[in-house]
Amino acid sequence: MHAVGLVTEYNPFHNGHRYHLSQARELTHAEVVVAVMSGNFTQRGEPTLLDKWQRAQAALTNGVDLVVELPIFMAVQPAHRFAAGALELLAALGVDDVVFGAEHPKWDFKQLVAAEQNFTASGFSQYNATFATQFNEQLKDQTGLSLTDPNDILSFGYYKAQINERLPLRLHPIQRRGSQYHDERIEGKIASASAIRQAVLEHGDFKQAVPVQTAQQLQKLQQVPSWDAMYPMLRNQLIQSPVEQLVQIYQMAEGLEYRMKDAAQRNLSFAGFMKAVKTKRYTYAHLLRVYLYTILQLTESQVSDHLKRPYLHVLGFNERGRDYLHSIKKQVELPLLTKIDQNLRDDLLNLDYRAGKLYQTFTPVEQDLKHAPVIVKGVKE
């Protein structure tokens, strides 16, 4: 069966995603749509509006055939590592094509990846600028182009992963439709996920921009997941943990542990804490990821170990997705998981399990242990 792969967060699933789905099928003539989707925390380190099971069900109801989780040690990463992890799983699932949105789909992303080989170490020596800023300065010197849009940055990451890992995937960037990534106003039936999240937060009208099921899920939200709600846990962790322990946290570097610990001791609000920690050296996304790693106590050694042991955690499927899994299961080399028992909880799935327990700050639903995949009957054409 010919399969097309999508790399997704679906935070939340909206009409733009449904358009992306239809374009992926039309462009590749695929029989099956496979989505690798972030779990309960986004690439930027933020909690998702809806849990991974709700988002998987919305995806399956609207045209995806199989949803597999992108583990937290791949999902909550800088764009290039996020992209590489997602493509690794799609390749393992036997996907032939990958379709993704870009602001500039006609750019020669392979040429941009090649240009990176000419970058110099001295070009990353500024401590008053983020890595992304310094990267773009060198890229512009080499090519005349800058990667500033999140979708273009991810597109670059997909091509880089494909080339470096020699993945047998055909990549298809397509033009994004509708609102810009960071737009916070809903105008028409296709809006950015940022605009929809803002409308949910402000109790505004978002129904025109999402499918019926997503609207129903969002209307039932009792609490909007946020860093404001998680900050007391982070603050306690920073205050109670010695610096010698904090320095072991994944991506904790350049004395950030001292800055975070001091800010936590002086600020009761998350906004105040963020302001105290932020410098020109770090993006907000980088800091949010480190905050999440800190709450979860994810160490460099734990993440390194798990990156060497990827797996395929199936979140849901319809009849076509089930048939596809059956057809490939003998060829799949990674562990294919449909239900998490205590052994998996304590070993292979431990980091995702811990992330799921943290997400239960916002929901009573068990996120991993003994949770069966979502099954949607019938196939949406």
Q: Is 17 annotated as a binding residue?
A: yes
Q: Is 12 annotated as a binding residue?
A: yes
Three-state DSSP at 368 gives coil
Q: Is 8 annotated as a binding residue?
A: yes
Q: Is 15 annotated as a binding residue?
A: yes
Q: Is 19 annotated as a binding residue?
A: yes
d(CA 139, CA 319): 45
Q: Is 371 annotated as a binding residue?
A: no
Three-state DSSP at 269 gives coil
Contacts of 126 (CB under 8 A, 6+ apart): 133, 134
Q: Which two tokens stand for residue 8?
A: 């997704």
Q: Is 313 annotated as a binding residue?
A: no
What is the residue type of 18? R
Q: Is 16 annotated as a binding residue?
A: yes
24: Cα separation from own chain's centroid: 19
How far is the CA of 161 from the CAs of 32, 154, 155, 186, 282, in angstroms? 23, 10, 10, 34, 24
Handedness of CA 358, 363, 369, 374 (dihedral sign): negative
Handedness of CA 246, 283, 126, 277 (dihedral sign): negative
Q: Is 151 annotated as a binding residue?
A: yes
Pairing of strands 374-376, 170-175: unpaired
Q: Is 10 annotated as a binding residue?
A: yes
User: Annotated binding site for ATP, which residues?
Assistant: 7-20, 101, 151, 176
**Annotated binding-site positions:** 7-20, 101, 151, 176
